[in-house]
Structure 1
């Protein structure tokens, strides 16, 4: 099926003399914690959530999260300052809790006055304490109630719950099942992620009791995203996603591509050789020597229980993502995607997307019976 390509107006839009005024703020525990206008989070996607997208999301009233896992420490500092040059709005930075220099990066966030630190893997309590003492809110992503309880007991300010519908690394439980269980388990703000793309989803999440929603694929597919046009076109033409373990040994929701199909067919030795090649490339990309890379690999092995082979395979993810998201190689890269990708048909600006989402949420609530 061929879909329209390029920035598209909202489906219900007609001729306008100028942009529609921004909707009024929505007050939730998330907006109060993060200082954003609306309870919408642009998630920290590697090679995608750079300064331009983050600043555009923040200027629109959402909470933008800068991805730093694929950046060296100095590159991360430069990216933070680039966001601050583009916007005065508060924003967040996604950190790897298992990185060898996680503490130094956390200290950088404190020094730079970053509002939120998000994590894919749960940070240890000393890292949470360092950030909180420096005025940075800590928001780990969790995939089970027990994980939410653990980080809440360590002092996390909020959690993001990602269900199986989400793109990238994912778990087996859907958002609609996982979200209420986590809400029942903790008394800190909960942000829902996995399967969200519009105001109806925001209204549903708020009705569950969440403090907001996180969207990744939907922000990737905006005119403010720096992802190459060929990749955006592949996303807009996609109908479905697949979950594969062939990339790095963990369940990963992606678009089906020749690269994914080849990895699925490949034997263990071929995958390991690819991992070693990508580990060397990632070492060069991040400006780190082999020693820090190996330390990070062992840290991941300790924190996740991964075997050595899977630890080495972890380098596949950032480099294969780069092949698609930076180099535009749709045939050779990994394109993480949430299940909602099949319902996305346009490329609005972040401003139009966020404002449309808020208006739709209010209209949805207003239209409920009674």
Structure 2
């Protein structure tokens, strides 16, 4: 299924596996790439040397294009960009809008730049700065999210920019892909659906918690790091919701110390990143400190298999997912269903009308 996105990136299918911290590692990314979709490696929870090693591991497992996701406000963003360029990574995606300078540097090296955004104005800004594509996530998506549903946000962005738009938030199957294409998107991105595959390294017990969840079990809380964060409701999340501000800040201090040890960052590096985060997101110092909770609470669940001690970021779509296919099986299923959905649209096969997607067709 050829779209402006598949032409831009060089993948067979207009599907993207998002860069989920502690989840989107070499095994998942390479499996996604080999299935014909775009896998994106999550680098925010890696050191720079770990990132280079992970990129090389993915490259050893697949010849297909893949991407790396990084934080534009990280103090070592320039070093990470250098790794992406030197290792020949096809796509650089960003959780926040990268600077004009970073975009220009990547584009000069032939890297496709694809920031993630949650508002029309942000899409217009990065498009004006030279971004090649944009991933737009509606409020149904997991992790940090906004209040506007994908079905409302997506057409706004499609109408506002003239670069390929990838839709995220609420997608799991071929019907969703066709719906996104009808809105004008060039593909869909999925996090939770790829997390729940046999190629994901998330512990089986944690995957079972996702599979058991209903749509109503997936909530948005600001108690983890001060920002709206969509995740599975658990006893820990309920406890966080009821905790006071002082308890939350004390927990954040402990997690900041743990994250510094885990990442190998110095205190000065951590402070520089905090300052950049405060400026980039217009946060209070309390919110900046709370941000230290996120990587460590996610790690407890996604790596250590302890949902009682960690949190599980999740899109609302988890309430509709019931199995753990391989990435190859998932991608094949989605594309088969997409073609079936397209063929089944009213009038798609009516006599005297060109097929959907053909010149003059619907």
The CA distance in 1 between the partners of 2:81 and 2:66, in whole Å, is 15
Q: CA deviation at 1:231?
A: 0.2
Q: 2:316 aligns to what?
A: 339
Q: 1:49 aligns to what?
A: 24
Q: 1:16 aligns to what?
A: none
**Which residue, out of 284, 304, 309, partners 2:281?**
304
Q: 1:237 aligns to what?
A: 212
The CA distance in 2 between the partners of 1:362 and 1:127, in whole Å, is 38
The CA distance in 2 between the partners of 1:287 and 1:259, in whole Å, is 27
Q: Which runs of 5+ in 1 are unaligned?
A: 1-25
The CA distance in 1 between the partners of 2:171 and 2:229, in whole Å, is 18
Q: CA deviation at 1:33?
A: 1.2
Q: Which runs of 5+ in 2 are unaligned?
A: 348-362
**Which residue, out of 115, 118, 129, partners 2:104?**
129
CA deviation string 1:59-110 (max 9, x = no partner): 0000000000000100111100010111111100001001001011111100
Q: 1:13 aligns to what?
A: none
Q: 1:330 aligns to what?
A: 307
CA deviation string 1:107-142 (max 9, x = no partner): 110000000000111111001111111111100011
**Which residue, out of 342, 345, 352, partners 1:365?**
342
The CA distance in 2 between the partners of 1:136 and 1:102, in whole Å, is 15
CA deviation string 1:15-45 (max 9, x = no partner): xxxxxxxxxxx11111111111100000000
The CA distance in 2 between the partners of 1:286 and 1:355, in whole Å, is 37
Q: CA deviation at 1:332?
A: 1.5
The CA distance in 2 between the partners of 1:363 and 1:102, in whole Å, is 43
CA deviation string 1:257-289 (max 9, x = no partner): 111111111111110011111111111111111
Matched, 1:189 2:164: yes
SS in structure 1 at match of 2:56: helix
**Which residue, out of 231, 252, 255, partners 1:278?**
255
Q: CA deviation at 1:188?
A: 0.5
The CA distance in 1 between the partners of 2:236 and 2:111, in whole Å, is 39
Q: CA deviation at 1:181?
A: 0.3
The CA distance in 1 between the partners of 2:310 and 2:36, in whole Å, is 32
Q: 1:163 aligns to what?
A: 138
Q: CA deviation at 1:185?
A: 0.5
Q: 1:7 aligns to what?
A: none
The CA distance in 1 between the partners of 2:299 and 2:9, in whole Å, is 29
Matched, 1:202 2:177: yes
The CA distance in 1 between the partners of 2:107 and 2:259, in whole Å, is 31
RMSD of equivalent CA atoms = 0.6
Superposed structure 1 runs of 4+ greater than 4 Å apart: none
Q: CA deviation at 1:186?
A: 0.4
1:1-370 to 2 correspondences below 5 Å: 26-240=1-215, 241-370=218-347
Q: 2:352 aligns to what?
A: none
The CA distance in 2 between the partners of 1:39 and 1:249, in whole Å, is 34
The CA distance in 2 between the partners of 1:52 and 1:85, in whole Å, is 11
The CA distance in 1 between the partners of 2:25 and 2:159, in whole Å, is 34
The CA distance in 2 between the partners of 1:109 and 1:162, in whole Å, is 24
SS in structure 1 at match of 2:345: coil
The CA distance in 2 between the partners of 1:304 and 1:368, in whole Å, is 43
What is the TM-score normalised by the length of structure 1? 0.93
